[in-house]
Structure 1
Amino acid sequence: ASGMCSSNSVVQTQKLVDQLRVEAGMERIKISLTAADLVHYCQEHRRSDPLITGIAASSNPFKDKKTCVLL
């Protein structure tokens, strides 16, 4: 049984090494370029961003329809 465990461990380690080789060989994008792209995208779309411009009460499905009245 110990031979089986050892063989299984070798197979798992080989799979890990193969995965790490694939990851190491991937072409990476510089984080500064990606961040600049993200900033540019946000600036281009800020007029249609509801987190910046807000949502009109009439088109907000989560807005309460009734007002609360305190007696």
Structure 2
Amino acid sequence: MSGKMCSGSTSIIQAQKLVDQLRVEANMEIQAASLVRYCQEHRRSDPLLTGIAASSNPFKDKKTCVLL
């Protein structure tokens, strides 16, 4: 009888782990959808997509390199 109890509790534990994993995956899908929506809403102001104007680029070299 204790063998059946152990087997039953093992399947309950496995089922609980499966439920927990599915909850995590469902939450990831919601977060991914939210991230996609945010990126689409802000794509016009994203410098990686639109580029940076040379006049406002703080990383642009101030001097040109001259080879002799």
Q: TM-score range by the shorter chain?
A: 0.5 to 0.7
Aligned length: 46
Which residue identity is paired with 2:50?
A: T
Which of 46, 61, 69 aligns to 2:66? It is 69
Trace 1:1-71 onto structure 2 (pairs within 5 A). 30-71=27-68
In structure 2, how many angstroms separate the alpha carbons of the residues matched to 1:53 and 1:68?
Answer: 27
In structure 2, how many angstroms separate the alpha carbons of the residues matched to 1:30 and 1:69?
Answer: 55
RMSD (Å), alpha carbons: 2.0
Question: Structure 2 stretches of 5 or more lacking a match?
Answer: 1-23
In structure 2, how many angstroms separate the alpha carbons of the residues matched to 1:55 and 1:31?
Answer: 32
User: TM-score with structure 2 length normalisation?
Assistant: 0.58
> Structure 1 runs of 4+ off > 6 angstroms?
none
In structure 2, how many angstroms separate the alpha carbons of the residues matched to 1:62 and 1:53?
Answer: 16
The answer to which structure has the higher helix fraction is 2
SS of the counterpart of 2:67? coil
Q: Offset at 1:35?
A: 0.3
Identity level (%): 77
Which residue identity is paired with 2:43?
A: R
